[in-house]
Structure 1
Amino acid sequence: MSNGTQMTDKSDKQRDIKSFVKKIKDLPTLPQYMLKASKIVNNPQSSAKDLAKVISEDQVLAARLLRLVNSSFYGFPQKVTTITSAIVLLGFEAIRNLLLTTSIMDIFSKNIRTKENAEELWNHVLCCGVVSKVIGEKINYQDTEELFVAGLLHDIGKTLELVTFPEKYREINEISKHRNVYIKQIEEEIFGIGHDSLGKLLATYWKLPKSLQDAMEYHHNLEGEFENSKLVYVVHVADTITKIIEIIFGYDTVVPEINKTAWENLGLDIEDLQAIIGRSISVYSEMKKTEHEIY
């Protein structure tokens, strides 16, 4: 490659990165209900009624939240009829994370132009969220809802690519499948930056919880230094298992590798893997039946 070509390639990547930064700044800020809810969750003096009041101010949001809580994903034996009851059952942090997921998805859904790629990405992150939660249940993780949201949002950098450069995003996916290599490698070749780093930029701009920032930034780079190691390990393993599930159903061809450190840290074995895959497919299938009513 000549010096001129190298300089052009470098300038193209720099221009793309600037476009990503501009797109982040152009995206709407998180809605007021999210900011109010975060303040309430962070205040130890707050009650479930305080949080319920904020959510109930938006009837559409309240209805969506109740549909989700009453979905087969949670499987509560009795129907949850009030926002206050939902908060008591799931806890402040879980409700805050679900609100966060809803608000972020709403922002991006209004900016996505290519529905086919968006659906493929959505199916991947939804499955990853489910697998993360299933792993959490298997290892007795304290907050499995946090894992669900972390899995759901771990690839938010890809969504940013999709809304900023839809044609390049499609090209990256096609090259990845053709060359049988990870998408992150192609992203760095074309954009000069991977979706993990883009996710970190976006998460920082929106001031998302540090645990979610770590999931976005480190799920492909377990050699880095991060605070929430258990959560990052779960999301990495869940992402890999999701790819295995996608291969089983013919949606992917790139055979993934589970990081040995992450796998051993979680204390999982082959029998656990089989059980996690089976349970995840079952839960994911149930969620797909009602997702249009929830998200």
Structure 2
Amino acid sequence: MTPPSNPSVANDQSVDALIKTIRIPPRPSMLIDVQTELACKEPDPRRLAATIANDVALAASLLKLTNSPFFGLRLKASSVEHAVHLLGMRQCGLLMTGIIARQSVQVSKVSLVKFWDFSSKRAQAMAHLATHMRVCSTDMAHTFGLFCDIGIPLLLEKFAGYQKTLDLAHQEFENNFTLIEEQRHSTSHTSIGALMARTWGLPEEVSTAILLHHDYDILSDGATSETVRSLIALALVAEYSIHKYHGEETLAEWDKGGQSACDFLGLGNDELEDRFEELHDVFNHAH
């Protein structure tokens, strides 16, 4: 075997140097506290509520979400402790992770409203699909749906021309999405997103799925974890359903991986259409 040539080694070093210049938000102490409580042998709802209530802004956001039409609760939560009681600890943990991510990932000069709206819809859709199809845990599906594209705002902040890269990649029906990013910036939102997921202590399957989610050949690779492949397939179905919900029938990523996702999940055309209808109901009730 021939040893690697020096230029490739130099190139690897320059990519490493580049990644070090991209600001990945550190895991906030509030998230560490929430994750620590949920990881206890006997997590305590009162302790979790007290932790969340320490941050007035986060507590207010949690109450607003709990009382939103999406959950359709008969009772309105009157306090953080009441919200934890109504939703359950795990659901509160998921909501807090999302709220904290929104707060931590900001881009100067660019509004992330559409980005977070899409991410929230994808998380809702994936949680719904996971509950009904039982291919992976609902919690993991929701977390992946929320963090799947978290590298995008980090790269928007780093590179002035990254929005142009995104536009080109979204219109690419042949080549891998990340190939366009690599060619233009020597990195991709999947690499940066996986790095952030690890930094934030998310499950290993989530960070692996973030890294691989544009590589649809992985769906037929038996050596890759079933959970990782399930997350990638569910995300594609969820994203296509969001596009259809907004009246957009074509999606380059669906053209590239839709059939593989359906094959992996065992979804025929009729069942797929039924799933889309269910998800559109979910989206309607979330407003």
TM-score bucket (shorter structure): 0.7 to 0.9
Unaligned runs of 5+ in 2: 1-6
Q: Percent of pairs identical after alignment?
A: 21
Partner of 2:166: 173
* Pairwise CA distance, 1:103: 1.3
CA distance in 2, matches of 1:56, 1:281: 34
Unaligned runs of 5+ in 1: 1-6, 290-295
CA distance in 2, matches of 1:138, 1:261: 20
Question: Using a 3 Å threshold, how does the CA distance of structure 1 residues 179 and 232 change in structure 2: closer, same or farther?
Answer: closer
* Pairwise CA distance, 1:236: 2.9
Partner of 2:4: none
CA distance in 1, matches of 2:179, 2:284: 30
One-letter identity of the residue aligned with 2:161: K
Partner of 2:126: 132
Q: Which of 250, 260, 274 is the aligned partner of 2:248?
A: 250
CA distance in 2, matches of 1:98, 1:123: 14
* Pairwise CA distance, 1:89: 4.1
Deviations 1:189-238 (A, max 9, x none): 222333222211222223322232133123233248554x3364144333
Does structure 2 retain, via aligned residues, the 8 Å contact 1:136–1:144? Answer: yes
Partner of 2:17: 18
Q: How does 1:14-53 map to 2 (within 5 A)?
A: 15=14, 18-24=17-23, 27-53=24-50
* Pairwise CA distance, 1:273: 1.6
Q: Which of 52, 55, 62 is the aligned partner of 2:52?
A: 55
Q: How does 1:114-193 map to 2 (within 5 A)?
A: 114-115=110-111, 118-140=112-134, 143-165=137-159, 167-181=160-174, 182-193=176-187
Larger mean CA deviation between 139-148 and 191-200 belongs to 139-148
Partner of 1:113: 109
Question: Using a 3 Å threshold, how does the CA distance of structure 1 residues 33 and 176 change in structure 2: closer, same or farther?
Answer: closer
Deviations 1:107-129 (A, max 9, x none): 112x34222xx344334323321
Partner of 2:189: 195
One-letter identity of the residue aligned with 2:163: R
Considering only aligned residues, what root-mean-square deviation do their CA atoms show, in Å?
Answer: 3.1
Does structure 1 retain, via aligned residues, the 8 Å contact 2:119–2:146? Answer: yes
Aligned length: 273
3-state secondary structure, aligned to 1:186: helix
Q: TM-score, normalised by structure 2?
A: 0.79
One-letter identity of the residue aligned with 1:162: L
CA distance in 1, matches of 2:227, 2:171: 33
CA distance in 2, matches of 1:255, 1:104: 25
* Pairwise CA distance, 1:260: 5.6
Partner of 2:213: 219
3-state secondary structure, aligned to 2:35: helix
Deviations 1:259-291 (A, max 9, x none): 66653453433233212222323333444x4xx
Larger mean CA deviation between 91-100 and 44-53 belongs to 91-100
Using CA pairs under 8 Å that are at least 6 residues apart, name the structure with larger relative contact order, 1 or 2: 1
